Amino acid sequence: MITLVGFRYSVYVRIARMALHEARLPYRLDEVDPFETTAANPHPFGRVPSLDHDGFMLHETSAITAYAEALSDAGSRPAPAKARARQQQVIAILDNYGYWPLVREVYAAAVFGPATGRPRDDARVLRGLDRAQPVLTALDGIAAEGLCLAGEVSRADQHLAPMLGCLAAAPEGARALARHGALAARFQKLSQRASYRESDPGLPTV
């Protein structure tokens, strides 16, 4: 049974509904108003839509549409569809919620700024760490689940490693990452790969 949780007037919910329809997947729509704080909204960031497929929870519109497409191809083989959807979910989490605190706040204020002659901005670092916390928690849960951020390197890993590398370049960021065991272990493996090392742009010499 597929349940789509969302607000019918949301354009993103409409996109998800169209995808389910095109894939010929029956579903039920559960109304949740994202502008009202409610425990009924399963999305970790209070957005819509979310999808529940027999207990498999999925957030982010692009992940849901990818999952619907994969299910229409996979038929009775849902595991590949779930893994592909998780990969897209990781990318969406990083793009929408991770990039700014990990890169533009913690890394820029604690590492890149001082390396280019600007003073360290401790208030900005603390703000970034606070905003990074739910991102790290969500990604750590996905890594522990094992459908994604495990095994063979995927598009999600390629998206993840550079952003976590920025976070970990700051001592406070490295400590925050270390508190998320599955995610930290995955980053440790990715950081040892030639693709990660050889793509390191380095820092300007000051």
Determine the residue type at 66: A
- Report the predicted TM-score, pTM, of the whole model to 2 decimal places: 0.79
Rounded-to-integer distance, Cα 20 and Cα 64, Å: 9
Place of tokens 């590398």: 165
| pLDDT value for 35 | 82
| pLDDT value for 104 | 94
- Domains located in the chain, CATH noted: 2-76 (3.40.30.10), 80-198 (1.20.1050.10)
Specify the long-range contacts of residues 148-157, CB closer than 8 Å, at least 24 apart. Answer: 148/83, 148/86, 148/87, 148/89, 148/90, 149/90, 149/182, 149/183, 149/186, 150/186, 153/190, 153/193, 154/87, 155/87, 155/91, 156/86, 156/87, 156/88, 156/90, 156/91, 157/186, 157/190
Place 204 in a pLDDT band, splitting at 50, 70 and 90: low
Mean confidence (pLDDT) of the chain: 90
| pLDDT value for 11 | 84
pLDDT in tens, 68-123: 888 886 554 556 889 989 999 999 999 999 999 999 999 999 999 999 899 999 99
| pLDDT value for 206 | 40
